[in-house]
Amino acid sequence: MNLRNIGVVYRKELRDMLRDRRTIINAILIPLLAFPVLLVGFVGVAIFVASRATEKDLKVMILNEAEAPEVAQRIRRELSFVMVQPSEDYVDAINNKRLHLAVEFPAQMEEKIRTAPAEPHTVKLYHFEGQIRSTAAARRVERIVNAYRDEVIAARLESRGLDRGALEPFTFEKENAASADRVTGSILGFLLPYFVILLSLTGAMYPALDLTAGEKERGTMETILASPVHRGDLVAGKFLLTLTFSLVTTSLSIVSLAATVLGGAGLIGQVSKGFVFAVSGTAISAVLFLLLPVTVLFSAGLMAIAVYARNYRDAQNYLAPLMFVVILPAMASMVPGMELNARLALVPILNISLAAREILTGQYQWGLIALIFGSTAAYAAGALVVVARQFNREEVIFRV
């Protein structure tokens, strides 16, 4: 193997690639823009729509206002409600989303509460289960009724000369104890591994196709084979270029995704109060490091398959199912409760997806990380050997 020759091949291919402006757009601009646009844009719209949907024009009907004038008055005063005249067909109206909630009081509720304190009452809230506006309206009315109940209880206690707090032995609440960067990390850890693995595959895809099947299609494969460059050097140069693209796409997408999450934090913070976003630089670089053997695996694997294809389109047909094969294990980071162990650490791609999630939540299981890096490097080496072999077989290279 001759390093200078490899350098020549690499430079030639790189120049070829860079001249095609569309490549740059595909490999760099799209992953860089896709995250901010998709994530921030989509999350922003989602939050905007959801907050507007639950805070405005909730259509509420009170079926028998006379039974509880006080509570009904409070419901009427709720700003987000639009009151609808009571009518018989409320079930139909709720089903067709013309009405979000119907409130039904028991007979003579408020009067009985005053005169017969031992009798419990139930206020019925007719709603559309799971429909967000219906649920929001129900929650608000529940709050109003509960506030009324607390007042009644306080008055009853007071009439017996008891303190308001006399019945409250203690209060309790759940509280998040994890640091901000860990909570951010678990959100990032959910999405990032999947997207980054996918993008390191697509980043390698274009050059891998162009340098093998594309070369066949253009009829330049024979020419380049006839040049005084050894077959091994040729493969090495082509492979390094594919690897470069995969690496560039991968690192840019990681940076872009992290920046998006941090940048979009203000937006999300407005809605979920007290949510602080932070990402540790160490975690990001550790993930990037772990992805190195993956990019090698993808570059070599894609080239090995694409060189077998007759032409560009043929190659594309082979690679489409491959995408599926990669996407499924990459989704492991999105499965809650799946945890890394020695056996899963040997499953390619799935291991990276899980390890990246752990790293982003601040967990470094060095033994497993080493095992993952080692096993992925072994798979990558295997793929490299296959590519080198494929290029040495004339029936593959000249398969048209």
Partner 1 sequence: MDLRKVAVVYRKELIDLLRDRKTVLSLVLFPLVFFPLMTVGFGTVERKMRDRVRGQESLVMILGEEHAPSLAQAIRETEKIRVVPAADDYVDQLNFKKLHAAVQIPQGFAQAPPPGGDPPHVKILFYSTQIRSETAATRLEETIRQHHNQLVEQRTSSYGLTPEMLNPVTPQRQNVADPQRVGGMKLGMLLPYFITFLCVVGAMGPAIDLTAGEKERGTLETILASGIGRGELVMGKFLTVLTGSLTTTLFSIGSFALTVLLAEDYMKDMTRGQAYTVSVSSVFWVLVLIVPLAVLFSAVMMTVTLFAKSFKEGQTQGSMVMFAAIVPAMVGMLPGIDLNPTLAILPVLNVSLVLKEILTGVMPWGMMGLTFASSCAYAALALKIATQTFQKESVLFRV
Backbone angles phi, psi at 307, to 5 degrees: -70, -20
Considering only residues 14, 149, 255, 280, which one is a binding residue for partner 1 as defined by CB under 8 A? 149
For partner 1, which is the closer residue by CB, 113 or 283? 113
Which of 18, 267, 325, 335 is close enough to bind partner 1 by CB under 8 A? 335
Are 291 and 352 within 8 A, CB to CB? yes
**Residue 43 or 229 with smaller CB distance to partner 1:** 43
**Both tokens of residue 367?**
């033994």
Among 24, 178, 267, 323, binds partner 1 (CB under 8 A): 178
Which CB sits closer to partner 1, 132 or 267?
132
The residue count for binding partner 1 (CB under 8 A) is 84
Q: How far is the CB of 297 from partner 1 (least distance, A)?
A: 24
> Sheet harboring 58-62: ordered strands across?
81-84, 58-62, 101-104
Considering the complex, what minimum distance in angstroms separates the CB of residue 279 from partner 1?
A: 14
64 and 104 in contact (C-beta within 8 Å)?
yes
Judged by CB under 8 A, the residue of 73, 146, 223, 227 near partner 1 is 146
User: Burial code of 292-302, b = ≥16 C-beta within 10 A, e = fewer?
Assistant: bbbbbbbbbbb
Instruction: Determine if 87 is a binding residue for partner 1 (CB under 8 A).
Output: no
Binding mask 150-169 for partner 1 (x = CB under 8 A): --xx--x---x-xx-xxxxx
Please state whether 108 falls in left (phi above 0), alpha (psi between -120 and 50) or beta: left
**Whole-angstrom distance, CA of residue 1 vs CA of residue 211:** 20
Site string for partner 1, 180-199 (x = CB under 8 A): --xx--xx------------
Closer of 126 and 379 to partner 1 (Cβ): 126
- The structure tokens listed for 111 are 């009067």
∠154-158-163 over CA atoms, to 5°?
A: 80
From residue 286 to residue 315, the character string flagging contacts with partner 1 as x (rule: CB under 8 A) and all else as - is --------------------------xx--
Determine the interface stretch with partner 1 among 9-17, 77-85, 128-136, 252-260 (rule: CB under 8 A).
Answer: 128-136
Give the DSSP H or E segment for 61. strand 58-62
Distance CA 273, CA 267 (A): 11
Residues 26-85, interacting with partner 1 (CB under 8 A): 26, 42, 45-46, 49-50, 52-54
Q: Does 131 sit near partner 1 (CB under 8 A)?
A: yes
